[in-house]
Amino acid sequence: MTRSKRWCVVAAVTLLVILAPLAWRALPADDDPVSAADLVARVRASDGHAYSGFVESQGALQLPVTSKFTDVGALVGERTRMRVWWRGERAWRVDKLLVSGETDLVHADALTTQWDYEDATARQSVDPQIRLPRTADLLPPALGHRLLEDVDAGDLARLPARRVAGRDALGLRLSPGAPQSSIDHVDLWVDRDTAVPLRVEVYDDAGDRNPVFVSQFRSFDPATPSVEDTSFRAPPGTDLSFEEVLDIADAANQYAPVIPPATVGGLAKSPDADRAVGIYGTGVTQLITIPLRDREADPLREQLGTTIGSHLVEGGTVVAVGPLGLLLTGAPGDGGWLIAGTVTEETLVRAAADLASGTRYVDGAGR
């Protein structure tokens, strides 16, 4: 064999090695003749299934936020790259990959550790009853299960199967029928073998053909990760601390002397929200109400006032960013309620009025 022929053989083999995984991913997906309702039942049954993989999320929602909400703004307005090892609800690890390192969330029983590689800090906390979103909430399984909560069968339809992360994935569309919702539809694809959600796309009601938020696995392994994969050992020199209060939502829920009403904007309050912060609605139609002191409300109100599309309504300042609506009640120096969720402006205004008339003030004993 001549040198040129040998080179052609080597080149051909190299090309096959490179293209084989791509060809496998490009194979047409096998579908199952399962109804939308039955597929949702399979997804619910998969809750708690172990997995590992690489996840990317991409949001196009540029929220007007202050320093208290910066992390939330980044989650829904930027590309987030994550490695995940999920043994179950009581043992998991999610590493957010950054240009200069990573920020990890490690959960063991009731304790969550947030480790910042660059700053060499580790913050530990017990998961509170109510908190702001974090990276683990963006994972397709977590997002998919939450969006399908209490879904009406009439709001569901099947989509064609597709390949996601090299696996056959069955398609499902959720088109909420609740008049309060600002989401047009959510498309999900779930693993054919395990029913674990692999890809989630969220579309607002503005008629845009592109999703405003996507979360998907780039690689997926349904095998149970090892205990070592979900463990954390603080490297030498790490500044380790324990946080009694996790974030502004946790702080308000613990210490604000108020109890919001049972219903706002026509949405019922979650039974789990029995203190100062209210969670209303279910699935794709939800809002949260957080009481803020003036030192938190004033800078947020100023930021909202300079945001394109914001305007004054009865009860406060409102702005919509895609399907996410925010309304801050009150005037400078008075504090206020931050009302936010995937609901219409009309619902936000109604919620503000309901909070103004139905909030109950309590003493330190909760009376």
- Please say if the pLDDT value at position 35 is more than 80: yes
Interval 254-303: pLDDT, tens = 999 999 999 999 999 999 899 999 999 999 999 999 999 999 999 989 88
What's the chain's average pLDDT? Answer: 87
302 contact partners, CB below 8 Å, separation of at least 6: none
Give domain status of residue 312, yes or no.
Answer: yes
164 and 298 both lie in a single domain: no
171 and 202 both lie in a single domain: yes
Give domain status of residue 17, yes or no.
Answer: no
Give domain status of residue 22, yes or no.
Answer: no
86 and 171 both lie in a single domain: yes
Q: Tell me how many domains the chain contains.
A: 2
CA distance 128 to 273: 11
Answer whether 28's CB lies under 8 Å from 164's CB.
no
Q: Which among 273, 275, 277, 272 is positioned nearest to 249, based on CA atoms?
A: 277
- Could you write out the DSSP letters of every residue in 184-218? EEEEEEEETTT--EEEEEEEETT--SS-SEEEEEE
Domain assignment of residue 310, given as a range: 248-361
- Looking at 191, 214, 242, which one is the last position of a domain? 242
Q: Read off the pLDDT band of 179 (50, 70, 90).
A: very high
Percent with pLDDT over 90 in the chain: 66
Give domain status of residue 131, yes or no.
Answer: yes
Q: Read off the pLDDT band of 164 (50, 70, 90).
A: very high
Give domain status of residue 10, yes or no.
Answer: no
Q: Read off the pLDDT band of 73 (50, 70, 90).
A: low
The angle formed by the CA atoms of residues 180, 185 and 190, to the nearest 5 degrees, is 130
The angle formed by the CA atoms of residues 43, 188 and 73, to the nearest 5 degrees, is 110
3-class DSSP state for residue 244? coil
Question: The CATH number of the domain where 309 resides is what?
Answer: 3.40.1000
- Please say if the pLDDT value at position 26 is more than 70: no
Q: Which among 245, 257, 247 is positioned nearest to 335, based on CA atoms?
A: 257
Over residues 90-118, the mean pLDDT reads 91
Quote the pLDDT of residue 129. Answer: 85
Quote the pLDDT of residue 364. Answer: 59
